[in-house]
Amino acid sequence: MSLNEVSSLAGADHYYSSHRIVSNATNLGDSNFGPATGKKAFFRTTVDCKVYRNRIVEEWLVRDNLYIAKQLGFDPVELAKKMAKGFKTKSPALQSRFGLSENRKGQFTPEITVKTITNAEGKFDIGNFVIAMYENIWNYRYFNKVKDFYSENAIVHSICNKDLLGESQIQGFLVSLFASVPNSRLLIERVTCNQNGGREDWDVSVRWRLSGVHEGTGFFGAPSGKPVEIFGINQLRVKQGLVVEEWVTFDGLDVLRQIHMEEDDAYLNVNGG
């Protein structure tokens, strides 16, 4: 069931749309997770679409597979190890990783590119607001700035059906996530937005990638030293210049798979031989 759609034009013939979907399912057949369990699962999927002349020409999909695995009764770590072994046999004998993004220049963080949330006329600009928020909080780890971008009673819906209420819990989630990949770099691929109701009310979708090395203890457990890339799509509701609600969706199970790749495959993604 689709709960929300965010869309914006990108020219005369095409536009982008983002869809937040929730699903209820019963595992009656064998799947990529393993044999059928007969158990029920509830999960969130977020899809970004590029549409040209009313046809989807490109699509990005992210699903909370970690939560599905847990509800079906599988051990996520053991399942991730199995997936890592399967990936080795399927991957082409070609190098697919060519280094990692850096979030520092030497010992210093790069200068923030968007310093204001207003436009040239001094009015609130939703695009500047979103980019400034993710650059400050996600890229440069200024977790003390959560209060500058989120309302006092903001709620963040994270993966595995975890709800975070208010500044302290939101900060705690971010600290745990980035403790796992302390030198990671965030790349924002796409921001889609449309007004919702009043002039100061916005629905926003942010498609992003976070790449780094799993070298800290945090959201994904003990450090492994493996390179990881996290792909995600967030949706936000912004009112009067502050985020009041956010949905963070990424595939935590795929991150665990990357963590449990064998050393050569983790860095080169080559078919061992």
State whether the Cα torsion 159-163-169-171 is positive or negative. positive
* Domain end call among 67, 90, 113: 90
Per-residue pLDDT band at 103 (split at 50, 70, 90)? low
Residues 58 and 152 in one domain: no
Q: Which CATH number covers residue 31?
A: 3.10.450.50
Amino acid 107 reads Q
- Residue 86 and residue 130 in one domain: no
- Does residue 119 sit within a domain? no
162 lies in some domain: yes
How confident is residue 273, by pLDDT bands cut at 50, 70 and 90? very low
Do 166 and 75 lie in one domain? The reply is: no
Q: Would residue 251 count as lying in a domain?
A: yes
What is the distance, to the nearest Å, from the Cα of residue 38 to the centroid of all Cα atoms in its chain? 29
Mean pLDDT of 29-43: 95
pLDDT grade for 111, boundaries at 50, 70 and 90: low
Query: Pick from 27, 62, 90: which residue ends a domain?
Result: 90
- State the average pLDDT over residues 144-148: 96
Number of domains in the chain: 2
Domain span including residue 188 = 126-268
| pLDDT-based confidence at residue 115 (cuts at 50, 70, 90) | low
**Amino acid 262: pLDDT:** 80
Task: Pick the closest to residue 227 from 174, 186, 181 (CA basis).
Answer: 181
Average pLDDT of the chain is 88
